Amino acid sequence: MTDEQIEARAQRAVELFKQGYNCSQSVFAACADLYGVTDESLALRLSASFGGGIGRMRMVCGAASGMFLLAGLHNGSATPHDNDGKMANYAFVQQLAGDFKDKYGSLICAELLGLAPKPEEPRPAERTPQYYEKRPCSEMVAEAVRIYLRNI
């Protein structure tokens, strides 16, 4: 994949995020078609639960989770005793996680955003211009796509 193609997908992830989709949805939907998931609505539903650090619990960053979901499509094992396949997938996920952590210092949403670990309620934050100005999420979804596509 060329740098221009990678950047186009990274920018698609940013567009999705700015439309109101969460980090995981933005990363996953920007690349899921590479694996035959051409129904964008399906891609968005499959990845919906991982936003806000998994269900807004501020755990694993949604952008990173989007990469990991893609990794399952790329080389995830679909056979229960395929230990070699599992090992290859886990190694790939660890590579992606390491690259993301090298760039941002953490995989944990709360740490990345400087927020409390778990909000009192599951209500997502309102998407206002101030939200987009103070959150690094737009840049992180773009970079997660770049990291993923440069590793496949």
SS (H, E, C) 95-125: HHHHHHHHHHCCCEHHHHHCCCCCCCCCCCC
Amino acid at 48: A
Say if residues 93 and 68 touch (Cβ distance below 8 Å): yes
Instruction: Give pLDDT tens digits for 12-57.
Output: 999 999 999 999 999 999 999 999 999 999 999 999 999 999 999 9
Helices 40-47 and 62-75, packing angle to 10 deg = 120
pLDDT recorded at residue 121: 82
- The band of 132, judged by pLDDT with boundaries at 50, 70 and 90, is confident
pLDDT recorded at residue 105: 98
- pTM of the entire structure? 0.96
Task: Locate the domains of the chain by residue range.
Answer: 3-151
Calculate what percentage of the chain has a pLDDT beyond 70: 100
First and final C-alpha spacing in the chain:
9
More confident position, 137 or 134: 137
Is it the case that residue 78 has pLDDT exceeding 80? yes
| Interatomic CA distance for residues 17 and 44, integer angstroms | 11
Is it the case that residue 100 has pLDDT exceeding 90? yes
121-125, 128-132, 137-141 — most confident range: 137-141
